Structure 1
Amino acid sequence: MSLRVLLVCGTGASSSFMAVSMRKAVQQLGLDYKIQARSESELENYLDEVDVIMVGPHLSFMEEEIKKSIGGRKIKVILMNPAYYAVLDGKKALDHLQSELDYKEEDSNK
């Protein structure tokens, strides 16, 4: 099954550029990840269709609100790092995503 990742930013523009960059990295690595981008106002429409939400660093103030909005769904929420987000480095964003998922798997095994 494909990992479904939703990138979220204010209007969806910068996250769309990041999604393109991440898709290139995913393709180069041969991973089965579906990466899409939306504005934060559309987030609730996609909660049943994603496994991970990556939040633009400029929306850090919304991180807790987003975590509450997912309810009981098993969705990982990750705040993106400004260093790779500012330069749209999809490979570093993908590395961050994978490190957070590995961390989650280790936690669930304890």
Structure 2
Amino acid sequence: MRILVVCGAGASSTFVAQRLRHAARARDLSYSSSAGTLRSLEIDLDATDVLLLGPHLKAERDNIAASAASKGVTVAVLPDDIFGDLDGSRTLALVHSAIGVAQGETAPTHASAKKEPE
């Protein structure tokens, strides 16, 4: 599964993406996570299954989600305190919640997890 973490400039999203990658690896999940910016979002969506928006982008979620939905990308907004998630486990739980994986279930590990547009 390909996860994109987006904030305004890409700095804080880099930390979240790294921690998320470590948490997925610790659970033997072959997820990739990367950081992005709003400027590159339209291009980055083509290679994304789940998009995590920085908390400060909450007001823009609906507009971004409309664009992402046309590409089958699931969108979630990170909570305000996500930067305190030092091991990435809360962020990983948010990803699983966004894609509908209940706690204890096996999560999809590849691009086939991408939801089809409605």
User: Common fold, TM-score beyond 0.5?
Assistant: yes
State the alpha-carbon separation in 2 of the partners of residues 71 and 82 from structure 1. 24
Q: Is the 8 A contact 1:7 1:36 kept in 2?
A: yes
Q: CA RMSD in A?
A: 1.9
Q: Secondary structure at the match of 1:6?
A: strand
The correspondence of residues 1-110 of structure 1 with structure 2, limited to 5 A, is: 3-70=1-68, 72-83=70-81, 85-89=82-86, 90-102=88-100
Q: Deviations over 1:70-95 (max 9, x none)?
A: 25221100011112x23144110101
- Matched residue pairs, number? 102
Higher percent of residues as helix: 1
What are structure 2's unaligned runs of at least 5 residues?
A: 102-112, 114-118
> Match of 1:41, as an amino acid?
R
What are structure 1's unaligned runs of at least 5 residues?
A: 106-110
Calculate the TM-score normalised by the size of structure 2: 0.79
